[in-house]
Structure 1
Amino acid sequence: MKHLLANNVRIFLSIVESGSITAAANHLSMGKSGVSDALKQLESSLGVQLLIRTTRRQSLTTVGKQFYRQCRALNDISTMALEEISGHLTEPVGALRITAPHATVEDCVAPALAKLISQYPRIEPELIIDDERIDLIEHNIDLALTVGELPDSEFRAQRVGVLKDVLCASPAFLKAHKLKPKTEISLDDIQKLPYVANHWQGAKSTYTLATNSKKNSKNTTTLHFKRVATVNSVNAIVALIKQSVGIAALPHFLVQKSLDSGELIELLPHHSPCSTNIYAIHPYSSTPPLGVRAIIEEIRQQLDFD
């Protein structure tokens, strides 16, 4: 094991606890002269005599006894510190502070955390749900999950998944606007419908999709909407859509159950939405802690991202 105490101090402790220079030399696998020299150097640097030695016995001076007690305590503390660090290298332990947007919680972050907790019971995760990108240093964040392209940053980012926004509406909304769910709706008609926007979209409410042509090539088309409301939570957008306030582009993994049950209707099933990358960001310049690496891997598995 590594040691935090100076080498000469460790040799001094061994001399005292072994009972002699010879025994300490055997314990440390050193020569007697090396052990003796280390003790002399320590006493010289301190300006005091620590041990009284004769041919048959040794004893600590008064100052030596004080010095030994303090060094013994320091050695015990340093050993405990190193053992705790070693534990962190073999198993995630202690606090793990994570932030993620609402859309990723139910089908991604929560299952990943549940698996991590069951596998590593000594970990203590704290999950902060926020659709805003919060400051990792100011809020002491170990890992941030974020959707969309990233600004320039000194933090490390790793792509862990892909999000596809599905343009949705409620059956009641379609009925109110005299649109049939199983009928292809023109892109011009789609753009005339009221749109519930997420605040991160900024001043313009747009939705980009890839239109599959007969030649199997993809042509990108951008739709422009007139927003009827702006919301800072994707869960709130889902609630408004189910109340027939308007249409919205929502993450596929968030609305898949509602689409399967018929509670929501996909408006453009024959078009492919353009994908958006999902990133895991951490502030560690080199290798992140084991807990951070473990939760990133679990999130990747939940998002089925290779």
Structure 2
Amino acid sequence: MDRALEMQVFCTVVDKGTFVSAAQALEMSKAAISRYVSGLEERLGARLLHRTTRRLSLTDEGRQFYHQAKDVLAMMDAAEEAVSSAAPEPTGVLRVNAPVSFGVLHLGPIWADFMTAFPKIELDISLNDRLVDLVEEGFDAAVRIARMENSSLVGRRLASTRMCLCASPEYLKQHPPVTTLADLTEHGVVAYTNFSSGNDWSFEGPNGVQSVRTRSVVRCNNGDTCRSITLAGGGISLQPSFMVAEDLRTGALVEILPEFRSIELGVYIVYPSRKHLPPKVRALVNFLSERFARPSWGQ
């Protein structure tokens, strides 16, 4: 059986959410889709999907295979594009959306290099933290920091970032010590409004997954503001490593309870469709993949 097609079918099932939608997208029968997924699971010797009458969900093995299969499919596309003599030079307006903090900290410094490498591309960059509709709003691509297994978009995983529980040394000196997750209830937290779990923070520690209900003293929809308040001693916050890695290195912030790990998110470059990907978007995908192969916040 075609292993690349197996991966494509499996990833499409995950992206679309149902076997029926995947069959429509790939112009195949539902029975064929089911055979490909079942054959893949049998060949790997692992269950990749939980199937119920209402929904599909990924197993842990399925989630790992999904991310790696998406990368393989993206690299196959890139390899074909690289050797195609008919591939036109990237040109035209390239509309890109990205989260504010990530866009300023990690994309801003590298755009000049992209412009030098592709002088016929005109960049149109939009930064905001809301989830834009690429098709409706006319974006060619977007950088997203999230869990993407249920997205209908396609793209490539560039890197990962973990959420770090942290506070300033000054704050920790002036408040009760935090030696357990339960101690967090005695502290005020600086909450990021767009954090999907709200005030319920979950961690994986020595005894498995644990959750704690936190109390916010300030809420804000901008990560840079949350970081600034935390640096100034305003409270404890849960911040992505791409924002606070340098603060942790210098000691401006201290990681609290490092034995408890919060969620890990992927950094993705996404676009509406893999079919007939414009050269300007392909150029962006390859450029960002190379630049974030070893992200600075992961060193």
Task: Tell me which interval the TM-score lies in, with the shorter structure as reference length.
Answer: 0.5 to 0.7
| Cα separation, 1, equivalents of 2:256 and 2:156 | 32
Partner Cα distance (2:211, 2:89) in 1:
47
Aligned to 1:105: 103
Report the secondary structure of 2:101's partner residue: helix
SS of residue matched to 1:89: coil
What's the counterpart of residue 228 of structure 1? 217
Q: Aligned pairs, how many?
A: 212
Compute the TM-score of the two structures, normalised by the length of structure 2: 0.63
Matching residue of 1:147: 145
Q: What letter matches 1:187 in structure 2?
A: L
Residue in structure 2 matched with residue 301 of structure 1 by the alignment: 290
The residue aligned with 2:135 is 137
Would you say 1:188 and 2:182 are equivalent positions?
yes
* Residues 170 and 285 (structure 1), Cα distance of their counterparts in 2 relative to 1, 3 Å cut: same
**Is the 1:112–1:295 contact (alpha carbons within 8 Å) kept by the matching residues of 2?**
no
In structure 1, the partner of 2:240 is: 251
Instruction: State the Cα RMSD in Å.
Output: 2.8
**Which amino acid in 2 is paired with 1:109?**
L
Letter in 2 for 1:238: R
Letter in 1 for 2:198: K
Change (3 A) 1:232 1:88: farther
Alignment-derived partner of residue 205 in structure 1: 199
The answer to whether the 8 A contact 1:164-1:273 is kept is yes
Determine the structure 2 residue equivalent to 1:267.
256
Structure 1 portions without partners, runs of 5+: 1-85, 214-218
Q: d(CA) in 1 for partners of 2:102 and 2:86?
A: 27
Which whole-Å CA distance do the structure 1 matches of 2:211 and 2:282 have between them? 37
Looking at structure 1, the residues matched to 129 and 243 of structure 2 have their Cα atoms a distance apart, in angstroms, of 14
Cα displacement string for residues 65-98 of structure 1 (whole angstroms, at most 9, x for unaligned residues): xxxxxxxxxxxxxxxxxxxxx9993332121111
- Alpha-carbon contact 1:100-1:144 (below 8 Å) kept: yes
Query: Which residue of structure 2 lines up, in the alignment, with residue 122 of structure 1?
Result: 120
Per-residue CA deviations over 1:138-175 (Å, capped at 9, x if unaligned) read 32111111122348554324332212011111122112
Match of 1:95 in 2: 93
Please list the CA deviations of residues 187-236 of structure 1 after superposition, one character each: whole Å capped at 9, or x if unmatched: 211233111222223573133322246xxxxx222232111222111111
Equivalent residue, structure 2, for 1:53? none
| Preserved contact between residue 169 and residue 265 of structure 1 (Cα < 8 Å) | yes
Partner of 1:289: 278
Identity value in percent: 25
How far is 1:101 from its partner? 0.7
Secondary structure in 1 matching 2:194: helix
> Structure 1: which amino acid aligns with 2:98?
A
Contact 1:87 1:93 in 2 (8 A): no
